[in-house]
Amino acid sequence: MGLEKFTRYCYYLRMKEFKEYNFWVYIMFNEPAKATYIGMTNNLERRVIEHKLGLIKGNSQEHDTKKLGYYEWFQYVDKAIDREKALKKWKRAWKYRLIETMNPEWKDLAEGLDEMLPREGMIEEFFRTLDNGEITVKGL
């Protein structure tokens, strides 16, 4: 196996990890956008549903933060935890500006969320196999 083929194969294996390691940092807000809740999860859809049903005790339940305003994906849990902790220290105005980078109209991003999250087979869409069985990365 040549170095180039080996490199492509290693890249393919690393990309396959994408579907196994999904961590999300997210911001929920309430209707008048007076309160936010920042959290981290490995299943964003489930977590948003828990918020909407009022199952998340504490700040989220107290302030009725049921709308998804912002989210970020991370492959590694330590990076997600670091980001969550950093965002929790931010001033309210900074958090609002961050939400507005993804969601300028402050809509509930939970609507249509299932179309945006990684799914089985998504990684394979980035790759194609040549007739000779060599794995190559699209666009490279």
Burial 95-132 (b: 16+ CB within 10 A, else e): bbebbeeebeeeebbbeeeeeeeeeeeebeeeeeeeee
Tokens of 77: 């849990």
pLDDT digits (tens, 9 = 90+) for 9-53: 655 555 555 445 799 999 999 987 789 999 999 999 999 989 988
pLDDT digits (tens, 9 = 90+) for 71-112: 999 999 999 999 999 999 999 999 999 999 999 999 999 987
Q: Tokens 């993804």, residue?
A: 102
Rg (CA), the chain: 19
> CA of 104: how far to CAs of 22, 30, 73, 132, in Å?
25, 15, 19, 48
Nearest to 36 by CA among 110, 80, 87: 87
> Please, which residues bridge with residue 3 across strands?
none
Q: Going from the N-terminus, what domains does the chain have, and what CATH number goes with each? A: 1-20+119-140 (no CATH), 23-117 (3.40.1440.10)
